Chains A and B, each alone.
Chain A
């Protein structure tokens, strides 16, 4: 499929857009560390926390609040907050005594919010040991108020404690795979067309689409491994998604090995066209079905939330979808260049052969 120049430049422009905005839009604030992690019910605690992407010293008029959420009713506001650094503060809480019916430990979520940067939360920030009030204890009057959070001005990307800034990789790693799938689909389609018409150009296009798709897939695996090293802990963890993606790429690599093993061009085209169609038929269960059936670290598989939910919020969509379209168009352009080159070369070979035979 030959693309109009406008689509080619548009594709490049979309990728450039996703590159720039994907890097520049800031993250929401987050909570990086909390000290102490344990407390006892009824205690007065001083929670020292460190936040990310805030600057408390920026403006003297900044209003910082914090809450500890034990459950939907017991939302405990900090009685005082002391700012100790541009990203550090200490929040003072009066923990309530537990009720009879409470479990022996409860974990509380820490919510911090300020008027400039917006809110952040850390689930299970502090584990509280059960203690019931007895007559010897002074009465606690913990301050339960409704949580009120601020929202940041302008667009921000979500903050995830393990991902941090790497959430931006969503715009660079994922579109490669989307583009790869479209190209493999087109490759299978061209193979079907070849088997029906036996026209050589279909075979050439099928091969070109597959080649660029493999390149994108390999880049997808490599970028995924780099991302995984610093979020999952290792470049390769035999995660089911990593594994099945690698298997799918190996199957397509065999398509090329098969091509080079047959010298007769018609036989080669016919055999590899059927192989290509089977390879695509395997791609779907490998990439989409099997990873969802078992445990996986990868988003969208093994019980993890997929695109949407908290991994792709509305600000991210504005950068992500253009990136996907851009990479699809770029993949189509690259495949077209390869196909046109091969068509030219085969014409030159035919001319050459017709001179000599």
Chain B
């Protein structure tokens, strides 16, 4: 039932819910990257 031959065909499956998943994933990963950045910045300050 699945057409995964192109990225387009993947994302428009199942009423395009995968687009929603991609958006939420992007938001979440963005936040996690920001947290990692804060973590490393603190580590740098602690080293002084």
Taking Cβ atoms with an 8 Å cutoff, the residues of A that contact B are 8, 12, 15-16, 19-20, 23-24, 333-334, 337, 340-341, 344
A343 to B14, CA, bound (A): 49
Tell me if A20 and B39 are in contact (CB < 8 A): no
Tell me if A344 and B25 are in contact (CB < 8 A): no
Q: Which residue of the partner chain, among B21, B39, B46, contacts A24 with CB atoms under 8 Å?
A: B21
Q: Which residue of the partner chain, among B17, B21, B35, B45, contacts A337 with CB atoms under 8 Å?
A: B35
* B22 → A minimal CB distance (Å): 10
With a CB–CB cut-off of 8 A, which chain A residues contact B25? 16, 19-20
Tell me if A334 and B46 are in contact (CB < 8 A): no
With a CB–CB cut-off of 8 A, which chain A residues contact B17? 23-24
Tell me if A12 and B32 are in contact (CB < 8 A): yes
Contacting A at CB under 8 A, from B1-48, are: 14, 17, 20-21, 24-25, 28-29, 32, 35-36, 38-39, 42, 45-46
Tell me if B21 and A20 are in contact (CB < 8 A): yes
A334 to B34, CA, bound (A): 12
Q: How many A-B residue pairs have CB under 8 A?
A: 35
Q: Which residue of the partner chain, among A8, A24, A340, contacts B42 with CB atoms under 8 Å?
A: A340
With a CB–CB cut-off of 8 A, which chain B residues contact A333? 35, 39
* B40 → A minimal CB distance (Å): 10
A340 to B47, CA, bound (A): 12
A15 to B24, CA, bound (A): 12
Tell me if A16 and B28 are in contact (CB < 8 A): yes
With a CB–CB cut-off of 8 A, which chain B residues contact A23? 17, 20-21, 24
Tell me if B24 and A344 are in contact (CB < 8 A): no
CB-CB nearest 6 A-B residue pairs: A12-B32, A340-B42, A344-B45, A20-B21, A337-B38, A16-B28
Q: Which residue of the partner chain, among B24, B35, B38, B46, contacts A19 with CB atoms under 8 Å?
A: B24
With a CB–CB cut-off of 8 A, which chain A residues contact B35? 8, 333-334, 337
With a CB–CB cut-off of 8 A, which chain B residues contact A15? 28
